[in-house]
Chain A
C-alpha cells in the first residue's frame, strides 16, 4: 500500500539505547517470513552472481533451435531467438535486482536528505521541499515514473533515474515525520546545548533514531521498484539493452505465449518469487522493528 500514511517507529528509541539492535536481529532470525525471505533472496543473489558456473550457456548466444519446450538440456526451454531461457532469467536477475537496489538507494539518500533538512531546519527549506513532495504525493509512483520516462527517454540510466525520483517522496515524508518527533527530544537538545553543529546532530543523533521506518520502507520499495521496472519495460518505456531484464523478457515474448507458454510463465514467476521474498522480509522487519502504519 503506497498511501497507508506515514510510517513511524514506536517508541522513539534514543541513541543511548543502541543495544536494541542485536535483539532486532535475533527477532528477525526467529521470524519464519524473514527466514524464508532471506533464504530465497540469498539463493537468488548467489545464483545470479555465480551464473556462469550454474549455466554452461551464454545468455546472448542464439545457438539453439528456437522455441524448444523445457527439457533436461534446457530446463526452462529456449526463446524465439534460440537462447536458453534459464540462462537469460539467471543473468536477467542481475539487471532487475540492480535496478531495484540502485533506484532505492538513490531515492533513499535523496529522500532522507530532503526529509532531514526539511524537518530539522524548518522554515523556507521545509516549505520548499514539502511543497514539492506534496506535488509528487498527489500521484501514484508508477504514474510519476511513466511521466519521467516520457521526459527523459528510455534506457537503463533514465529508467533508474525515473524510478528513483518517483519513490523519493515516500522517504522524504517518513524522515521528516521522524525528525519532527525527535527534534525536541532531550538528547538532541542536549547535543545542541553543548554546541554540536547541525550536520553532526542530524547524522549522529537524529538519523540513527529515524532509521527503522526508513529501512522498512526501503525494503518494500525494492519490490515496488522491481515491479515498476517490469511495468515500464512492458509498456516499451523501459530498459532496452541486449542484456535482459525480467520485464523485458516477458515483453519480448508476448507474441509467442500461446506457442511457448514457458516464455511467459517463467520470467513472471521469477519476478513473483523475488518480490514475494522481499515482501516477506519487509513485513517481518516491520514487525521486528516495531514500525507500524498509523
Chain B
C-alpha cells in the first residue's frame, strides 16, 4: 500500500507534491479538536469547510487508503472541479440504486440507508453531522452540558415552520422522544435507552437527562438521519394522516417537502419556501426514482435521464465505465462501515474458549493458530481488486476510515492480521494441517448479495492455504438467525452507516454486544452445547476499554481508548476484518454537489444545484 502511495507521489510534479504536503500538514490541524463535544461547532463550519472532507481523507490515507482516488492522476474528478456558482431553481432527477421502492420515510421504522438519505432532506434533527462526521446544530442552535455530563440543555432554532404550517417548538422534541422510546412505535428505541428523560423548559429549550455520560450523543442519538430515534416528527400530522400516509409523505421541517410518493414509482420533493435557512435549498424540485437493476441505472445516468445516483452503493463494476465518461462526475471517499468474516470460536478446528490470555499465550493454542492463519492468509489487495474492482480499502478493525480522527492509519502494519502467506502457512502447519492437509471443509455463510465476494474468498484460501471452503448462501433473514445462534463455521457479515466508534465497538466487540451471538443460549442450544458465556468474541479488558471510551468526553483521550480496543480485537482475531467499502457519488457534470454536502452515506440535496 505504501509502495503504491509512494509510486503515485513520485509521479507528481514538485508543485503538486508541495501542495499535498501542505494539505496533509493542515489536515491534522483541521482535525476537529472537539469532534463530538464541540458544543457549538459553528467555528468549525467556516469557509474552509468545503475543502475539509478532502483534507481529512488525505490525513486518513497515510497508511491504508490509496491516495490515487483523490488525485487527478487516477482520473477521478474531485467535487471542487465541478464547482460553479450555484444557480437557483431547477429540477434534479435522481435514481435510487438497488431498490424497487422506498418503502418508508418514517424515521421510526426506517431500516435502510437508502431511506434515510431521502428522509434527511425532508426531516430535521436536533443535530446533523457534517462532512467530517462532526455534529452541528440543526434544529438546535447551541447546547450546554452539565459538569457530570448527564444533563444536556439545547436551545432550539427560532421561527422554524413545519411543512404543514405548524410552528416548531420544544413540544415536538418531547413528542418525538416519547414516541421513539416506545418499542411498539419505533424500532430504534434502543438508541434512547441511555436517555432517561426529555423535558421542555420553555417553547424553545429542551433538557435531556442521561443515565450515564455518552460521548456519542450528538452524533449517534440526536443526529437527524443516521440516528432516527430523535429525528423530529410532527405529532399532529401523524394523528391526522395516519402512520401509513405519514410513512410515505412525512411532514417535516427540512429543506424539501414530499409532494408525491407512490411505492415503486418514486418520490417527488419540492422546495420548502419557509425553510429556516433562506439560502437553501437551491433546487426547486427533486424527483427520486428507484432503479433496482444495475444496467438500466447505468443507462439512465449516461443518457441524462437521471442526474445523480443515490440509494444503495453503485455497483463497483460500473465505476470504471463512469470514470471514462466526461459527462459524469465520480467522487469516491472512504466509506463508513466494516466488512469481516466471523470465525466461530465454538467449532473445531478454530476453537478458542477464552480470549482473555495475551496474544502470545493464545498463539500457543491450535485453535487460535488456525484463526490467525485464516486472517493472515487473506489477501485483501487481491480481494478488493477482484471482488470490488478496486473500490475498497483493506480492513483490520471495526473502526472505519471515514471516522478520520479515530481511525488508526498504521493498523495495517501493526495488526497481527496483516497479510503474510508464509506465516499463515506456517501457523496452519503448526496447528496440525501442513499444506492444508486434513483441514476440514468449512462452510462460509453469506447472503445472495455477498455470494460473488465470497467466491473470491474461497479462491484466495484455496490458493494461499490449500484449503477448501464451501459456500452456504442463505437469505439475510435466515443468516441473521444463524448468526445470533452462533450456528456457522465462517460467516461474512459487516456493518454500514457507522458514524461513531460506538457503532463498531459497542455493537460488535463487547461481550454484551447485540451482534455477539445474542441467542446462543436458546434452550435447544444449551441442551446441546451447554451455556456459552459469549458469542464470537469476549475479552474483559476490551469490554472495559469500550465502556470507558463510550463515556470519555475528551476526544484525544477517547481516541487512545478506541484505538487500543480496536488493536486488541484485531490482534486476537475477534473476526477476520476484510475491508471497508468506499462510498461513491456519481452525478452528471451539470450538477453541482458542494463538498460540504458530501457527508458519507448521505445525499443531502439542500446545497446541490443544476444548470
Contacts and interface: CB of A to CB of B under 8 A. Distances in A.
The answer to whether A and B touch in the complex, with CB atoms under 8 Å apart, is: yes
Interface of A: 60-62, 66, 80-82, 153-155, 236, 240-242, 252, 254-259
B459 A60 contact: yes
B98 to A, nearest CB: 11
Interface in B464-494: 470-471, 473-475, 478
Contacts of B157: none
Interface stretch (B183-191, B447-455, B546-554): B447-455
Given A236-B448, A240-B451, A62 B386 contact: yes
A256 B448 contact: no
A66 to B, nearest CB: 7
B599 interface: no
A242 B448 contact: no
A240 B295 contact: no
B494 to A, nearest CB: 20
Contacts of A259: 317, 321
Contacts of B317: 80, 255-256, 259
Interface of B: 293-295, 298, 315, 317-318, 321, 386, 448, 451-452, 455-456, 458-459, 462, 470-471, 473-475, 478
A153 B472 CA distance: 13
Given A80-B317, A255-B294, 6 more contacts: A61-B462, A153-B478, A236-B448, A255-B315, A258-B295, A259-B317
Contacts of B456: 62, 81
Contact of B471 (A62, A81, A153, A242): A242
Contact of B475 (A62, A154, A241): A154
Contact of B295 (A61, A236, A254): A254
A111 B368 CA distance: 54
Given A81-B386, A254-B293, A256-B317, A240 B478 contact: no
Contacts, number: 48
B473 A240 contact: yes
A252 B451 CA distance: 10
Given A60-B459, A81-B452, A255 B295 contact: yes
Contacts of A66: 386
5 contacts: A62-B456, A81-B386, A81-B456, A240-B471, A258-B295
Nearest to A252: B452
Given A60-B459, A153-B478, A255-B315, A82 B293 contact: no
Contact of B458 (A154, A240, A242, A252): A242
A61 B451 contact: no
Give the interface SS of chain A, mostly helix, strand, loop or mixed. Answer: loop
A62 B294 contact: no
A252 B455 CA distance: 12
A150 to B, nearest CB: 11
Q: Which of A80, A81, A242 neighbours the largest number of chain B CB atoms within 10 Å of its CB?
A: A242
A236 B298 CA distance: 22
Contacts of A240: 448, 451, 471, 473
Contacts of A236: 448
Nearest to A259: B321
B115 to A, nearest CB: 22
B477 to A, nearest CB: 10
A69 to B, nearest CB: 16
Contacts of B298: 258
Contacts of B321: 259
A116 to B, nearest CB: 39
Given A82-B386, A236-B448, A252-B452, A257 B471 contact: no
A82 B459 CA distance: 11
Nearest to A67: B317
Contacts of B451: 240
A254 B459 contact: no
Which 5 pairs between the two chains have the least Cβ-Cβ distance? Answer: A255-B294, A240-B473, A62-B459, A242-B471, A255-B315
